[in-house]
Amino acid sequence: MFILIFEQLMKMFFIMLLAFMCYRIKLVNQEGNRSVSNLLLLVVNPMVILTVYQTDYDPELVRGLLLVFAAAALTHILGVFVVTILIRPKSGPDYAIERYNAMYSNCAFIGIPLINSVLGDTGVFYLTAYMVVFNLFTWTHGVVLMEKKCSLKSLKEGLLSPMFIATILAVVLFFVQFKIPGVLLDSMTYVADMNTPLAMMVAGFSVAQADLAKMLRNIRLYAVCAVKLLLMPLLFLPFLMLMQLPQTVSLTALIATACPSAATGTMLAIRYKQNYTYSSEIFALSTVLSVAAIPVVVMIAERLL
């Protein structure tokens, strides 16, 4: 499993490196970065959710899907409490960035190819339930974090966002078994396939603006990564043991939780004019460290579940 994870992360790293070089040679500027980020958040991500739910109804799959829904809701609620307790406002002006990156995982961009290589199509289908919960929390709690205040305006924006609407619509279409016409679905799938490459490029554009030497010397970054990669999944593990879920369901939820910080954090930071460079630094470092962290977490889980 270590080799599978390492190979997948290396593929993503090379895409991010390409984007890094494009920004450094001024092929792309910050305005281009912002445009690609908005395209990914508001168009490509909704297409991913809509297309993955265009599958045939199966009672056993639905049962597993609902169990992952429950597990994902639990880990996100747990995450809100953990990051609120551990990362306080007095820690610095970017505490909201740290909270978001310590809690939310790259369950789509890294989770989909990673789980597909380990658990196959069934694991990917179950992962979509985790992605739905992730998106529901991101566009409510995550938006509140980025704006550093809880307001009806921010919550309304989240609830009316393309991602939130697409999530609800995708679930409804699945349960009523409405099939999108083939030609339209193929076009949507082409757009959805840009998900991982564009996410890695946005991260690469943002990292290119950072002082890498300073980043690697920042102890605070390693602390945030430790919370995301080790503390969060290991705190979640006892709850999975108590729930006694099927192994495929448990491993799907655990791997999704153990993924590095979400690339969405950088995109939201750009959108809400927060410190996106710092967010991309956490994302980049956590992605590299996850090569060692995820196999360790999964190895522990396989022995205990």
When computed from its CA atoms, the radius of gyration of the chain, rounded to whole angstroms, is 18
Q: State the average pLDDT over residues 164-174.
A: 87
Residue predicted with more confidence, 302 or 103: 103
- Spell out the long-range contacts of 143-150 with Cβ–Cβ below 8 A and sequence spacing 24 or more: 143/268, 143/272, 145/96, 145/99, 145/100, 146/96, 146/100, 146/268, 146/269, 146/271, 146/272, 146/274, 147/272, 148/96
pTM of the model: 0.82
pLDDT tens-digit readout, 215-260: 888 999 999 999 999 999 999 999 999 988 898 899 999 999 999 9
Range among 78-92, 159-173, 258-272 rated most confident: 78-92
- Please tell me the predicted confidence (pLDDT) of residue 295: 87
Helix (H) or strand (E) segment spanning residue 62: helix 59-86
Q: Would you place residue 157 in the very low, low, confident or very high pLDDT band (cuts 50, 70, 90)? A: low
Cα end-to-end span (Å), the chain: 17
Residue 89, Cα to own-chain centre: how many angstroms? 24
- Please tell me the predicted confidence (pLDDT) of residue 158: 62
Residue predicted with more confidence, 150 or 122: 122
pLDDT surpassing 80 at residue 264: yes
- Please tell me the predicted confidence (pLDDT) of residue 154: 61
- Please tell me the predicted confidence (pLDDT) of residue 111: 84
pLDDT surpassing 90 at residue 121: no
pLDDT surpassing 90 at residue 291: no
pLDDT surpassing 90 at residue 86: yes
pLDDT tens-digit readout, 53-69: 888 888 888 999 999 99
- Please tell me the predicted confidence (pLDDT) of residue 234: 94
- Please tell me the predicted confidence (pLDDT) of residue 23: 93
- Distance of alpha carbon 84 from alpha carbon 73, whole angstroms: 17
CB 69 within 8 A of CB 175: no
pLDDT surpassing 70 at residue 12: yes
Percent above pLDDT 90 for the chain = 35
- Please tell me the predicted confidence (pLDDT) of residue 155: 63
- Distance of alpha carbon 280 from alpha carbon 284, whole angstroms: 6
| Other Cβ atoms closer than 10 A to 285 | 23
Q: At what angle do helices 276-304 and 219-226 cross, to 10 degrees?
A: 40
Q: Would you place residue 301 in the very low, low, confident or very high pLDDT band (cuts 50, 70, 90)? A: confident
